[in-house]
Structure 1
């Protein structure tokens, strides 16, 4: 059976390297790592997996470093991965693939590049990362380096495994884009007519949110690339459509989409992105047709660069919106349901579906519908709807959304939200119990303190509220919050109302306004619970805000928003009625 070497280049990849090597160690016979100047723990981590670690001075050229790694490899095949990638492959499957066809000397593998970790959205590309260890196969290009195989008939394609790109922080992503821009600008200056370099440079500018800079580069790349290079021309087209939409040039998107659909009738993403442009122009009937066509296409052939969901949940969601705008509520509801069922992590249709049901059936029946359809079994859906209900002033129904088993996927968030909703339903004891279950390093702790203080005040435990504030004061980062909590606890203990004129400049406005807003969401299961304390608390907070700079304006907008929300709710349910102020 053929031997495989994983050949990598790394630099300061301590955060990602172990996960990458764990994913591939059982599939390869040898691991070769070339380090171009790490200053973190990368080399220490690498040493736990291989002793074949080689230094290589960075010279601004990725191909040189990768080819050096190949030169140290003894396997019959080379697998090339970046440290922020993982191989997703059944045990033994990689070698089984290599034994299938002796004529194949290289394989294109699917690469899933995640664009939204929360919703699971990703782009899929085909990349040549698995090839025979022969002297004629090597990387070329200083950046976005490629292995060129002259005999196309020797290149195979695999769909039964894939490479998964690990999302990086925004800071790290921008650092890498900045590095790439520098290298690409230099390469483009030396080869100004190279469409591949124009494509890569355009993608970097688009990724940095600069569509105006990306547009001419992507236009040139798409115009000069041919179908012989469909693996680059297809994504150039998709990014060009995205770029035009980002710039609001919807007419150009539509014209290009119509032209491209004739050339590539099975390319799902064309129909999806053109459908979005038509929707933006309020051409909802046409948008529905294009989005329906993207659904009919489904997953396109692998040689197209594809946005996962553009032939499924993404198309259904936008199609539902168009149906709703056309007054076709049954069709809209069906589309939103399909979007949620296809991808439970894609929570955006939750709001649209709930508001549609709310308009026709009321909140109680809408919540019962979500429960009956088992949507609450999926934390992203349950959490999204719960927070909507809480914002609408229904903490009791928000609590219902999270009554199932606590999912390990969202364990901390569910505990936090459960605690919060119980508190605003007047069940202070159970709410505080949920808060106590959170780990000491939870990302929700600062928010917990705010709700915990409110629970203590509404239960009449003013002294405990004061003790909480004094504890928070020990943390310099929490002193703005502690200052407000301490002042309010003292006022409540002394049964004093803070008069507007007593306000001192420098007292924290943000925390006071947030507390005042949260008081308005308190709706206890038993009406008498905490109401006396609530009246005292809101009086203190309102007077405090009246004395703060900008407080009067904030309160004015707050009450206007409340009135507008009631009006819109009435209008959506019963139709528009002119409100009279007598």
Structure 2
């Protein structure tokens, strides 16, 4: 791990690997809080590194202290899932694998909920991180495979890492966009056609409102990308987002469809299916949207937003009983889902379940007051105007 001022997140992260790893190497890059002390309390070996705005340099410095045969890389805002531990144990007993990709779930992220990360690999002397931000070992692994073709790359089934760093509050608190942009623009200056940096920097530009710049980079990435399907997926996915911002729904739809057709692990396509459903709904293709959401839910039945979005389509199609079931599934998966409670209230009222409707609206108001007080006020006023005097 490399860390800086992570005293709040670190205990949960280290707890998740306490009985899994033989050693924990924590490289501190200049903390002013209790981060190093907490790491030592968990039995970690703490080393120090002068930060130089280069994540790869820091990660490579951390690798020098590793003594084990296999390396698992985590960030402080991540935790290892217990269910993946037996698979990790089995892989470490194998002889053929050099690197295992892990599925990471972006908890509470506004966009794509899953990504594939190269975080579990052998302690091979030639494996090193490259790129200043979103540091990767992939380039060095590819170079090793050309010299030592007996190695294989694989991936573990199921979610291995839970990541909370892409929630809006976390991004704002940690000034993540500014740090990422500064690091990646330096790399981009010397690697202007690198598909990976085109994808990451282009997506960052789109996210921060520089749509035209982002679009140009993403298109450049597609032109340069050959058979790295995961990167090509991200490029098309973010082009879909960019064209949505520019009110070009047909171009956005075509990019999401291109992303979905790529031969990658199905769970990684969840964001594209969900965004495609949203666009088809907005353009009036309710049945197409319904199919997109249903496909997303076949891939991941625990995708709360997918159940909610399917409920919205079912409501629009007059399938009220189905819509109620979808909203209820979304709420079971995410008990803080104010919008799901609110729309559940609407549909319960439509089918004449007044008491159930009042309960759902009440829950929606309580949650909106915590998350969006203006919406709570608007909803309460609307319900009064409808004669639901309880509110």
Shorter-chain TM band? 0.7 to 0.9
Hey, what does 1:201 align to over in structure 2? 201
* Residue aligned with 1:317, SS: helix
Cα displacement (A) at 1:60: 2.0
Hey, what does 2:347 align to over in structure 1? 356
Deviations 1:159-201 (A, max 9, x none): 2551111346346455122111011111111221212111111
Relative to structure 1, the CA distance from residue 263 to residue 122 in structure 2 (aligned partners, 3 Å threshold; closer, same or farther) is: closer
Relative to structure 1, the CA distance from residue 279 to residue 96 in structure 2 (aligned partners, 3 Å threshold; closer, same or farther) is: same
Relative to structure 1, the CA distance from residue 354 to residue 41 in structure 2 (aligned partners, 3 Å threshold; closer, same or farther) is: same
- What is the RMSD of the two structures over their aligned residues, measured on CA atoms? 3.6
Matched, 1:98 2:91: yes
Hey, what does 1:386 align to over in structure 2? 362
Relative to structure 1, the CA distance from residue 324 to residue 253 in structure 2 (aligned partners, 3 Å threshold; closer, same or farther) is: same
1:150-189 equivalent positions in 2, closer than 5 A? 150=142, 151=145, 154-160=152-158, 162-167=160-165, 169-170=169-170, 172-173=172-173, 175-189=175-189
Hey, what does 2:289 align to over in structure 1? 287
Hey, what does 1:334 align to over in structure 2? 322
| Distance in structure 2 (CA, Å) of the matches to 1:287 and 1:93 | 38
| Distance in structure 1 (CA, Å) of the matches to 2:122 and 2:39 | 24
| Distance in structure 2 (CA, Å) of the matches to 1:247 and 1:162 | 35
| Distance in structure 1 (CA, Å) of the matches to 2:120 and 2:135 | 14
Hey, what does 1:494 align to over in structure 2? none
| Distance in structure 2 (CA, Å) of the matches to 1:233 and 1:294 | 20
Verify the 8 A CA contact 1:115 1:122 in the aligned structure 2: no
> Any gaps of 5 or more consecutive residues in structure 1?
1-7, 300-307, 368-381, 392-412, 418-442, 448-513, 522-557, 570-582
Cα displacement (A) at 1:82: 1.0
Hey, what does 1:66 align to over in structure 2? 59
Cα displacement (A) at 1:75: 0.9
Cα displacement (A) at 1:254: 2.4
Residue from 311, 332, 338 that aligns with 1:320: 311
* Residue aligned with 1:102, SS: coil
Cα displacement (A) at 1:76: 1.1
1:100-499 equivalent positions in 2, closer than 5 A? 100-116=93-109, 123-148=113-138, 149-150=141-142, 151=145, 154-160=152-158, 162-167=160-165, 169-170=169-170, 172-173=172-173, 175-226=175-226, 228-261=227-260, 267-295=269-297, 298-299=299-300, 313-325=304-316, 328-329=317-318, 331-341=319-329, 343-344=331-332, 345=334, 346-361=337-352, 363-364=354-355, 366=357, 385-387=361-363
Cα displacement (A) at 1:362: 5.5
Cα displacement (A) at 1:85: 1.1
| Distance in structure 2 (CA, Å) of the matches to 1:246 and 1:174 | 25
* Residue aligned with 2:113, SS: strand
Larger RCO (CA within 8 A; separation ≥ 6): 2
Verify the 8 A CA contact 1:27 1:91 in the aligned structure 2: no
Relative to structure 1, the CA distance from residue 285 to residue 82 in structure 2 (aligned partners, 3 Å threshold; closer, same or farther) is: closer
Relative to structure 1, the CA distance from residue 72 to residue 262 in structure 2 (aligned partners, 3 Å threshold; closer, same or farther) is: closer
Verify the 8 A CA contact 1:211 1:243 in the aligned structure 2: yes
Relative to structure 1, the CA distance from residue 94 to residue 44 in structure 2 (aligned partners, 3 Å threshold; closer, same or farther) is: farther
- Larger Rg belongs to: 1
Verify the 8 A CA contact 2:331 2:341 in the aligned structure 1: no
Verify the 8 A CA contact 2:103 2:160 in the aligned structure 1: yes
> Any gaps of 5 or more consecutive residues in structure 2?
none
| Distance in structure 1 (CA, Å) of the matches to 2:44 and 2:277 | 53
Hey, what does 1:576 align to over in structure 2? none
| Distance in structure 1 (CA, Å) of the matches to 2:356 and 2:5 | 54
Relative to structure 1, the CA distance from residue 171 to residue 254 in structure 2 (aligned partners, 3 Å threshold; closer, same or farther) is: closer
Verify the 8 A CA contact 2:28 2:46 in the aligned structure 1: yes
Deviations 1:450-504 (A, max 9, x none): xxxxxxxxxxxxxxxxxxxxxxxxxxxxxxxxxxxxxxxxxxxxxxxxxxxxxxx
Relative to structure 1, the CA distance from residue 289 to residue 62 in structure 2 (aligned partners, 3 Å threshold; closer, same or farther) is: closer
Cα displacement (A) at 1:70: 0.9
| Distance in structure 2 (CA, Å) of the matches to 1:92 and 1:562 | 49
Cα displacement (A) at 1:335: 3.3
Cα displacement (A) at 1:108: 1.0
Deviations 1:95-148 (A, max 9, x none): 62234421112211111112359xxx9711111111111211111122211112
* Residue aligned with 1:93, SS: helix
* Residue aligned with 1:180, SS: helix
Verify the 8 A CA contact 1:319 1:332 in the aligned structure 2: no
Count of paired positions: 367
Verify the 8 A CA contact 1:212 1:247 in the aligned structure 2: no
Cα displacement (A) at 1:94: 5.9
Cα displacement (A) at 1:350: 2.6
Relative to structure 1, the CA distance from residue 333 to residue 242 in structure 2 (aligned partners, 3 Å threshold; closer, same or farther) is: farther
TM-score w.r.t. length of structure 2 = 0.80
